[in-house]
Amino acid sequence: MNQNTRRIAVIGLGAMGGAMAAALHKAGWDVTGFDPSDTARSAAEAAGITTTATLGDVAGTPYAVLSLPAASIVETTVPQLLAAPGTVAIIDTTTSEPATSKKMAELAEAQGAAFVDAPVSGGRDGAATGSLSAFVGATEAALKAAEPVLLALTGGKYSHIGGPGSGNVVKLLNNVLAAANLASVGEALGVAKAYGIDPAKAAASISEASGGSKVSANMYPNWVLSGTHDSGFSLGLMARDAALAVDVATQIGETPSLLAAVANQWQDALAVLGPRADFTEIARVVAPAVTPAGAPGAATPAGTTPTA
């Protein structure tokens, strides 16, 4: 790949987009970042990244990575990126909707470009180190066009799920399963605490057995039991993803009752904690006794600091 084709635009410089832009910059890509937020652009510039406040400035850039808050914004962004010739591939890491990705893939293909839905998992740390995992929906031709960027973001740790939109479906299912596990592990540790068992010891023991998961092994010890709640992923986004997963199922006639109950539980937590709370703060609703901050609205225990 010559230097000209190593030009890449990163659209959306929030926690994930900013970290991906920095990782690409460190890997030798010529990165230009776009975000309407002055704060987000300033943070990217501090990492050595050129930025612009005008999306049209990056139209026709050979590669583009999208990290956006909603499918509706993807739909308005992609046509602007394709407004000038030169686009090779657009890699959409947004947790988006399959219908949107199918439409954008058709639009890009009609203009001789590729569009792949590649929602990612791995958080800020994975984004910053180029070690994310990605769920990819794309045609074979689009996948080949996007591969240099996918390799840079994931180190090869991506799964080609199927055609356009399929990456979105599996990512939403992944997130609703994580949402279910966050609630169920919290409830289980709440029971352990009620029996006088140290929740940290219970989580460690369960994590070595058949009930274990990344939630019990990492998320609860690192972010919940510690009281830090600083994963970098918001409760509002997780509540949205859980609801979207159920909507996607409903659209094809499926009725996942347990997942629907989980989605409702997250909506209830959203109403109490607000969208900006860390998603690990769900524990404060389902198992407040295991969290240093306790239940929302409760008096803060001595020696602790409220997290919401």
Single out the residue of 228, 238, 233, 184 nearest to residue 206, CA to CA. 184
The amino acid occupying position 137 is: G
Q: Torsion angle, CA of 152/159/98/150, rounded to 10 degrees?
A: 10
Q: Please check whether residue 195 is in contact with residue 216, taking contact to mean a CB–CB distance below 8 angstroms.
A: no
Predicted local distance difference test score (pLDDT) of residue 2:
56
The amino acid occupying position 174 is: N
Predicted local distance difference test score (pLDDT) of residue 302:
38
168-290 shares the fold of 4-163: no
β-strands 30-34, 7-11 pairing:
parallel
Q: What distance in Å separates the CA atoms of residue 66 and residue 174, rounded to the nearest whole number?
A: 20
Q: What is the pLDDT of residues 133-179, one digit of tens each?
A: 999 999 999 999 999 999 999 999 999 999 999 999 999 999 999 99
What does the H/E/C string look like for 273-286?
HCCCCEHHHHHHHH
Predicted local distance difference test score (pLDDT) of residue 307:
38
Domain ranges of the chain: 4-163, 168-290
| CATH entry, 168-290, from 1.10.1040.10, 3.30.365.10, 3.60.15.10, 2.30.30.30 | 1.10.1040.10
**pLDDT 10s per residue in the chain (308 long)?**
555 579 999 999 999 999 999 999 999 999 999 999 999 999 999 999 999 999 999 999 999 999 999 999 999 999 999 999 999 999 999 999 999 999 999 999 999 999 999 999 988 889 999 999 999 999 999 999 999 999 999 999 999 999 999 999 999 999 999 999 999 999 999 999 999 999 999 999 999 999 999 999 999 999 999 999 999 899 999 999 999 999 999 999 999 999 999 999 999 999 999 999 999 999 999 999 999 999 998 654 433 443 33
Predicted local distance difference test score (pLDDT) of residue 1:
56
For the entire predicted model, the pTM comes to 0.90
Which is the catalytic residue, given 171, 193, 201, 214? 171
Please, what's the largest Cα pairwise distance for the chain? 65
Q: What distance in Å separates the CA atoms of residue 23 and residue 27, rounded to the nearest whole number?
A: 6
Predicted local distance difference test score (pLDDT) of residue 299:
52
Predicted local distance difference test score (pLDDT) of residue 5:
74
Predicted local distance difference test score (pLDDT) of residue 161:
97
Predicted local distance difference test score (pLDDT) of residue 188:
98
Q: How far is CA 300 from CA 112, 274, 304, in A?
A: 58, 18, 7
Architecture of domain 4-163: 3-Layer(aba) Sandwich (3.40)
Predicted local distance difference test score (pLDDT) of residue 308:
33
| Residue 171 a catalytic site member | yes
